[in-house]
């Protein structure tokens, strides 16, 4: 009897399935869905990196990071201008402010789980930035409220289980040289605890735009990458 009942239910489901798409279409036609607002999703995804750290089956940490490079700040200015109905003059003013900030800082939005606060002296995890084989400590780690545009950029990475931080590094070293230079081929953001360390990396071209890793020897020669020493120098103290 149970077998016959199960087969009957399965038969009814098969009969109803072809009509599901029609019901969905009817719903869309009956309840106005609005139009999607477009942004450069492919561009944004090039600047997002994610990592999860486990100790066997236990989750130790999760980090999702968006590097606020010039391309990201430009897309933010364009996206915000469109949404807010600003004019070209207002767009250019916003874009100038965004790009000017990148002349002083290298900034990231970092999403971490609530169990792993960042930026405190007693935090389990600490963040450093490695560029041109030198490591730098952040000048600021601050919990922030993400603008709606950045929430959209981060998509499913941003949710109520994550805390957003803005992590900022000086754009210049102690000799007032820009960290991001023409010969820079990649940047790495390290997360370290007393148990584990992980890093996220972005490969960049001469204009410091994120690209796929360069593997062609000729391209490597053209890039003029320097030979790097084995040891990494920590050039800044961790800020309090």
Q: Which pLDDT score, from 0 to 100, does residue 160 have?
A: 93
Q: Which pLDDT score, from 0 to 100, does residue 2 have?
A: 46
Q: Which pLDDT score, from 0 to 100, does residue 18 have?
A: 56
Per-chain mean pLDDT for the chain: 84
Does the pLDDT at position 165 exceed 80? yes
Q: Which pLDDT score, from 0 to 100, does residue 212 have?
A: 84
The pLDDT of 219-239, averaged and rounded, is 45
Q: Which pLDDT score, from 0 to 100, does residue 9 have?
A: 47
214 backbone dihedrals φ, ψ, rounded to 5°: -85, 125
Residue extents of the structural domains in the chain: 37-234
Q: Which pLDDT score, from 0 to 100, does residue 31 have?
A: 75
28 versus 118: which is more confidently predicted? Answer: 118
- pLDDT, tens digit (0-9, with 9 covering 90-100), for 123-157: 999 999 999 999 999 999 999 999 999 999 999 99
- pLDDT, tens digit (0-9, with 9 covering 90-100), for 20-38: 555 556 555 667 777 887 8
């Amino acid at each position: 009897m149970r077998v016959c009942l199960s087969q009957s239910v399965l038969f009814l489901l098969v009969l109803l399935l072809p009509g599901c798409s029609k019901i969905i279409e009817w719903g869309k036609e009956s309840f106005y869905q609005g139009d999607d607002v477009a942004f450069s999703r492919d561009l944004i995804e090039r600047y997002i990196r994610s990592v999860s750290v486990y100790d066997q089956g236990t989750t130790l940490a999760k980090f999702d990071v968006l590097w606020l490079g010039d391309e990201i700040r430009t897309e933010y200015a364009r996206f915000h201008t469109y949404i807010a109905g600003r004019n070209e003059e207002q767009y250019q003013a916003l874009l100038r402010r965004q790009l000017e900030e990148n002349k002083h800082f290298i900034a990231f939005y970092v999403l971490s789980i609530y169990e792993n606060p960042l930026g405190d002296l007693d935090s389990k995890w600490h963040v450093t930035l490695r560029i041109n084989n030198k490591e730098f400590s952040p000048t600021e780690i601050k919990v922030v409220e993400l603008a709606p545009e950045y929430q959209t950029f981060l998509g499913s990475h941003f949710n109520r289980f994550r805390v957003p931080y803005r992590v900022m590094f000086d754009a210049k070293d102690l000799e007032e040289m820009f960290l991001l230079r023409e010969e820079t081929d990649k940047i790495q953001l390290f997360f370290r605890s007393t148990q584990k360390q992980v890093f996220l990396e972005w490969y960049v071209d001469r204009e410091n735009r994120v690209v796929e890793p360069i593997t062609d020897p000729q391209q490597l020669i053209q890039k003029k990458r320097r030979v790097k020493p084995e040891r990494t120098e920590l050039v800044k103290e961790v800020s309090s």
